[in-house]
Chain A
Amino acid sequence: AQTVTQSQPEMSVQEAETVTLSCTYDTSENNYYLFWYKQPPSRQMILVIRQEAYKQQNATENRFSVNFQKAAKSFSLKISDSQLGDTAMYFCAFISSNFGNEKLTFGTGTRLTIIP
C-alpha cells in the first residue's frame, strides 16, 4: 500500500516570498504519478502540478515547481513570488500507473497562509 506524508501541518510566509512544501511517499511501484492539489476555502480541489515518475525533469507551472527525488521518494512543491490567492490547503497525492490500482492517495495536507 502507498502512503503519502506531509510533515508540515501549517506554514505562513510574507507575500512575494518563496515557500517550499514538503512531501514524502512510500511505494514499491516503479511507475506512478505525483500531484499537488490546492484546496481553497471554496473547497474545490484544483490541480497545481503533476509529475510523472519516469521523467527525471522536474515539472514547472509558472510560479510553481517541484523537486522530485525518486530515490529518496521526495516530492516538494516550491511556490515563488507567493500571492494572497495562494492561501489554501495543499495536498500531495500519489496514483499508481498499474491497472486496477488507480486511486489517489493523499497526504494530510499543509495549510499555507500568505501574509500581506
Chain B
Amino acid sequence: KAGVTQTPRYLIKTRGQQVTLSCSPISGHRSVSWYQQTPGQGLQFLFEYFSETQRNKGNFPGRFSGRQFSNSRSEMNVSTLELGDSALYLCASSLAFTGGVDTEAFFGQGTRLTVV
C-alpha cells in the first residue's frame, strides 16, 4: 500500500510569489492535515480537512489556505510568500481524526520550501 505522497519535494520561490503544495493520502484515508516545521517554531498545525471540509485550523494568517478534493487529495496554497515561510511542510493522513482507534497519522516526507 502506497504511503503519503507529497509533491514537490523541494521548491524555491521568490518573496511575493505564491505556491501550491500537493498531498496524496494513503488510499482510503479521508483526513488530511498539514503542519509547518521550522527550527525556530517547531511543528505547528496549519489545518485539517476531512471529506472535503476544513474541520480545524491553526493560527496562521489568511495567506495560508488549503482544500481537499473528492478523492481526498489535498493542496495547500501560500500567497504573497515571505522569507519566514521557508520551512518543511508536512502532510499527514488518517482514516479519521475522531479520537477513535484510527487516530494514527501517517506522514509524508514533506516539501522543503525556500523563499528567497
Contact = CB atoms under 8 A, between A and B. Distances in A.
Interface in B68-106: 88, 90, 92, 97-99, 103-106
A42 B6 CA distance: 14
A61 B97 CA distance: 22
B109 interface: yes
A106 B44 CA distance: 7
Contacts, number: 63
Nearest to B50: A102
A101 B88 contact: no
The SS class assigned to the B binding surface is strand
Contacts of A95: 97, 99, 103
Given A44-B109, A47-B104, A91-B43, A103 B99 contact: no
B42 interface: yes
B27 to A, nearest CB: 18
Nearest to A101: B56
10 nearest A-B residue pairs (beta carbon): A97-B99, A102-B97, A45-B107, A106-B43, A103-B45, A44-B109, A108-B42, A103-B56, A43-B110, A33-B103
Interface of B: 33, 35, 42-43, 45, 48, 55-56, 58, 88, 90, 92, 97-99, 103-110, 112
